[in-house]
Amino acid sequence: MGVALVSRKPLPRNGLRRRGEILSCCPHEDRRKMMSLFARAGLLVALALTMPTAVAAQGTQVFHAPDGSYTFSYPQNFVLDHEFADGTGDVTGVTASSSTNGDVIITLLGPRDAGDIKEASEATRPRITDDFSRAIAPLPSTTLRSSSMTTMLGGPAVDMVFQNVRMPFSRERPQLKRYVFTIANGKAYNFECVYRADKAEQFAPACDLAVSTVRLRDDAVKAKPAGARDNVGTAPPAAGSCTKEELNKRSMQVMEITSNTMMKDQSPATIERLRKAHEAMRVVDARAGQAPSARDCRDIDAIIATLK
């Protein structure tokens, strides 16, 4: 059994969107290559080098899921996206769709059953990409442009970009459909970001922002060990208590600190400081593997301290 996906009604030809009932998680209908794996929180360094100036310059706000299950940040030039094109129905994400922009949509789908795929990793990336390709690109009009690793919800994620040319011989501009997939707490989640290929430089950063800032409702409780102080790292782990989960919690803190720092300061010196911190984290991650030691958690704590 592969990754469960979602079925929606196709986008109308006039550029206005209408959605049907969500059945499972990514569209079956006809719907930049991201940086290679920076390990754990490396996505934020990539963002620091490629996009934060534009996003930060226009400001951001926070999307709250209607059921309170998750939040993510998005640019202020986006608005809430509703189930139906007339602005009625449930809030499903955010949008910047217009006659000039075309369809621009950011939606988080999940949680759902991950099937027999237990993690998002380099080893499972081909399988995940294949499952999405069968669901997203059943017709020749939609092709896979790239598949790479990134970070979401504190762990590895697969970042897939598909290009859709609904009418190959028409003047219609190709559309990109990007899916960033991960597994957290045993459940599957993925962002769906839709924008025109010729506007990727303008709207891909909004997708990057959402992916790097998404938080599940219970994360703050689960990620705060006993003795930890709010927003200032974690208490040193006892000998032998550093698990993969504990190391991932510390990575979430690095992501939060980096995101907040980049919103306030995008100077070359700050970017270089963040780059060095993430390079150090990559070294720890490679050393820790699937069986981290207390030293690994302490080293990540030290990296967090350098970011304050």
Judged by average pLDDT, the poorest of 4-18, 145-159, 237-251 is: 4-18
Report the range out of 11-20, 165-174, 255-264 with the highest average pLDDT: 255-264
- Evaluate whether 90 touches 118 at the Cβ level (below 8 Å): no
pLDDT digits (tens, 9 = 90+) for 207-230: 999 999 999 986 433 443 333 333
What single string gives the DSSP state of each residue in 139-206?
STTEEEEEEEEEEETTEEEEEEEEEE-SSTTSSPPPEEEEEEEEEETTEEEEEEEEEEGGGHHHHHHH
Give the residue from 82, 98, 78, 81 showing the smallest Cα distance to 15. 98
Cα 71 to Cα 218: distance, rounded to the nearest angstrom: 11
285 φ, ψ (degrees, to nearest 5): -60, -45
Side chain identity, residue 229: R
48, 47, 10, 16: which is closest to 30 by C-alpha? 10
Closest CA to 243 of 288, 300, 305: 288
pLDDT of residue 88: 82
Q: What's the mean pLDDT in 55-84?
A: 86
Q: What is the pLDDT of residues 89-129, one digit of tens each?
A: 889 999 999 999 999 999 999 899 988 999 999 999 999 99
Residue 194's DSSP bridge partners are 105, 177
- Nearby residues of 118 by Cβ (< 8 Å), 6 or more positions away: 124, 183, 186
pLDDT tens for residues 183-195?
Answer: 999 999 999 999 9
Listed in sequence order, the residues at least 6 apart from 49 whose beta carbon sits closer than 8 Å to its beta carbon are 271
Quickly tell me which residue has 């080293």 as its tokens: 299
Q: How crowded is residue 150: how many other Cβ atoms within 10 Å of its Cβ?
A: 23
CB count within 10 Å of CB 257 equals 22
Nearest one of 147, 156, 158, 177 to 3, comparing CA atoms: 158
Which tokens is 11 given?
A: 């986008």
CA distance 221 to 121: 25
pLDDT of 168 strictly over 80: no
